[in-house]
Structure 1
Amino acid sequence: MTSKAIITALTAVLLVSMPVAGQKMKIGSYTFKDGAIYSGELVSGKPNGKGRTVFKNGDTYDGEYVKGKRQGYGIYTFTDGERYEGQWFQDHQHGKGTFYFRNNNRYEGLWFRDYQHGMGTMYYYNGDTYKGEWEDDMRDGKGTYTYAGGAYYKGEWQNDQKSGQGVFDWNDGSYYDGQWANNQRNGQGTFKYADGDTYTGQWKDDIQHGRGIYKFRNGDVYEGDYVQGERTGEGIFTFANGDTYVGHFLNGEQDGEGTFTWKAGATYKGQWRNNNRNGRGTYRWKNGDTYTGDWKDNQMDGEGILRLSSGEKVKGTFSQGKKNGKFIEVQKDGSRFEGYYKNGEKDGPFVERDANGNVTRKGTYKNGRVTQE
């Protein structure tokens, strides 16, 4: 109901409750069809004016009547202890009134045909309060719910639930400003954490879900996809020191295909798992050296090719960042070494050739030293 309609209804209550000129008023009693007994002012034999009614179930009404109906101001007391004090219209709680609930809640505000409807304030037994719009006994429209501990929600409501645009302040330095549905953060919104972090983006059922931007208090920034509160999907993580990662995330970690660029000048493009280089990828050092091949926990591990800025090309098997297994090393001038490594040192039979493929040297290495030629 609009504010204009409510004002019109209240005006009707006041006008109808006025006594009609020329009618003779008497004091007496009246028995309603349901057995309730009225004692008070009568006009033309019916309750009209002030009086008291006792209902068969023990409820009582003390207040005004017009043409046999509760109308004007009155107090209705229920047998269970609940009580309504306020305006009536044609036997309905209608207009402005206060209802005292059995559980010690108290509502003060507007009513429409026995329902809390319009602007009103509910004082809850636990110290919480709601001040705002109501419809059919439910919080509906704009209003502010303040918790006894100091937290509050200010915004839109629907069917007694936070729904629409609203701000929730937890009274501990954290707050949310954005969209709600079914009492939960749903849609677009910004959450500021008590520690200074902020998240702006999409939410689903109170959890970050969809696209968003998370700004850490230390200066780090993540912009990308979220699933069930975790960085999952495509995103960009910019570190406060200038490093950046662009690629795929899973459960908050760099996982899948991605490119990491260090502020110092190095880059890695390839596969990740658990925030580490794992799988196939290419690492380029600042000086121009590159390694393309297998990785495990940030170390060269498996088959790979190392190209040095000096022109040398190294192809072989690595283990925990060291050469292990058969290697072919080609120098800038075309000469080459074919042999074996163990824990980063030459170990086993080898052959050295010139640019034309002619053997220039052969023998055996042991722990990095030639033992036989």
Structure 2
Amino acid sequence: MYPLFCYINTFSHTLLRHTLATVALCLPLWLTAQEISTGTYTFRDGAVYQGEVFRGKPYGKGRTTFKNGDVYEGEYVKGKRQGAGIYTFVDGERYDGEWYQDQQHGRGVFYFKNNNRYEGLWFRDFQHGKGTMYYFNGDVYDGEWVNDKREGQGTYTFATGDSYKGSWKNDKKDGLGTFVWSNGARYNGMWREGKMNGTGTYNYANGDVYKGSFVNDSLEGKGIYRYNNGDVYEGSYHNSQREGEGIFTYANGNKYVGQLKGGMKHGAGTFTSPDGTSYTGQWQRDQKEGRGKYVWRNGDVYDGEWKADMMDGEGVLRQKDGTKFRGQFREGKKNGKCIMETPDGLRFEGTYKDDVRDGDFVEKDRNGNVIRRGSYNNGVVER
């Protein structure tokens, strides 16, 4: 049995459940003494190697200078970079770590020319497996990589204090993850292509909480928004604004059920208050506009047209005592032709100006007989 002189290079990292076998070359001592030497070797691409040579090829430790100015110092096996070595690129970038078959493969550190630094596992020249990237601006990513891209589970900590922990795909936040802002805001939920997409919960810095659907970082679809003052909205969103059908329950007991647009009551809806007042009808930009019915706490009811939150147009006003006004309104007051009927059957036909009788009139009894004619001037009968 001859004594052995062994060059052994062992790689034992796990990447995608892939384990490299131990590369070993064991030769009789008398043979290595004859065949291993120090020399120079020129590769086909013109690169020049100086170092240990075995059977005419680089084998062991040496230095290679490439035609473009790149330099490699480290170990070789059968003419290929294999083992530990440092590759310095002409532009200043540098890789210091393990090699296999001329490729960055195993554990190593790469120094980028933009001052980023990656420390971790490599697979066939790609950042692949567990690794940490230290970015030039102070950001840090610690997690899994696939083909030079963040993919799998990882944590990204921004220099600003913000952080994301969760799933990645194709270098972007994708899947389930949690983002925490330095101001205290937090999102926990689904991501797609770097943005909040799917269901999630957003806790705002001011204490508001939204739980529901997201599309491209915007509140979109169904959700529940709880305000820090106790108000609660449950319904549809579009572009982060209340839009569509929804229910808004106020902390003071008020409630709106209906349509919204641009975050405001818009369309058909009902607004109710604990004191018994309510409005059911059309809305525009948070104001009563169009046709609607308003009920006062004392029992009075107006059913008619509205404009800018006020009775305006044709309508009927029924008072609790049974008196009914039917006619024209403007800016919340009776203005124009109006018919008033009292519970005992008396009927007034005339005109109003700002809730005051003004102009010609006729009064009739319950049978329709005329009992008086005349003219009002600012509430005073002139004839």
| Partner residue in 2 for 1:51 | 62
Measure the CA separation in 2 of the matches of 1:68 and 1:123.
33
Equivalent residue letter for 2:279? Y
Per-residue deviation, 1:287 = 2.7
Per-residue deviation, 1:26 = 2.6
- Residue of 26, 33, 48 corresponding to 1:20: 26
| 2:15–2:128 Cα contact (<8 Å) kept | no
Measure the CA separation in 2 of the matches of 1:197 and 1:6.
42
Structure 2 residues without counterparts, runs of 5 or longer: 1-12
Q: Say if 1:6 and 1:286 are closer, same or farther in 2 by CA, change over 3 A.
A: closer
| 1:316–1:328 Cα contact (<8 Å) kept | yes
User: Quick check: 1:243 aligned with 2:254?
Assistant: yes
Per-residue deviation, 1:314 = 1.4
Q: Say if 1:7 and 1:358 are closer, same or farther in 2 by CA, change over 3 A.
A: closer
Equivalent residue letter for 1:44? R
Q: Say if 1:366 and 1:278 are closer, same or farther in 2 by CA, change over 3 A.
A: same
User: Quick check: 1:341 aligned with 2:352?
Assistant: yes
Greater CA deviation, 117-126 or 38-47?
Answer: 38-47
| Partner residue in 2 for 1:88 | 99
Per-residue deviation, 1:135 = 0.8
1:1-373 matched pairs, under 5 angstroms: 4-5=14-15, 8-9=18-19, 11-12=20-21, 15-16=22-23, 18-22=24-28, 24=32, 25-372=36-383
Equivalent residue letter for 2:27? A
Per-residue deviation, 1:163 = 1.6
Equivalent residue letter for 1:110? L
Per-residue deviation, 1:117 = 0.5
Normalization by structure 2: what TM-score? 0.91
Measure the CA separation in 2 of the matches of 1:309 and 1:357.
24
Equivalent residue letter for 1:127? G
Normalization by structure 1: what TM-score? 0.93
Per-residue deviation, 1:7 = 6.1
Measure the CA separation in 2 of the matches of 1:69 and 1:207.
52
Q: Say if 1:247 and 1:7 are closer, same or farther in 2 by CA, change over 3 A.
A: closer
Per-residue deviation, 1:203 = 1.9
Structure 1 residues without counterparts, runs of 5 or longer: none
Percent identity between matched residues is 57
Equivalent residue letter for 2:160? G
Measure the CA separation in 1 of the matches of 2:46 and 2:370.
123
Measure the CA separation in 1 of the matches of 2:15 and 2:136.
31
RMSD of the TM alignment (CA)?
Answer: 1.7
Measure the CA separation in 2 of the matches of 1:36 and 1:345.
104
State the secondary structure of the residue aligned to 1:20. strand
Measure the CA separation in 1 of the matches of 2:17 and 2:94.
24
* Matched residue count: 366
| 1:255–1:271 Cα contact (<8 Å) kept | yes
Measure the CA separation in 1 of the matches of 2:365 and 2:155.
85
Measure the CA separation in 2 of the matches of 1:46 and 1:272.
86
Per-residue deviation, 1:4 = 4.9
| 2:15–2:123 Cα contact (<8 Å) kept | no
Greater CA deviation, 80-89 or 349-358?
Answer: 349-358
Equivalent residue letter for 1:233? G
Measure the CA separation in 2 of the matches of 1:220 and 1:211.
17
Per-residue deviation, 1:5 = 4.7
Once the two structures are superposed, residues 40-76 of structure 1 have per-residue CA deviations (whole angstroms, 9 ceiling, x without a partner) of 2222232222222222222222211112211111111
Greater CA deviation, 62-71 or 44-53?
Answer: 44-53
Equivalent residue letter for 1:31? T
State the secondary structure of the residue aligned to 1:57. coil
| 1:327–1:340 Cα contact (<8 Å) kept | yes
Measure the CA separation in 1 of the matches of 2:178 and 2:109.
28
| 2:277–2:297 Cα contact (<8 Å) kept | yes
Greater CA deviation, 210-219 or 91-100?
Answer: 210-219
Once the two structures are superposed, residues 216-274 of structure 1 have per-residue CA deviations (whole angstroms, 9 ceiling, x without a partner) of 11111112222222222111111110101111111111111111001211110011112
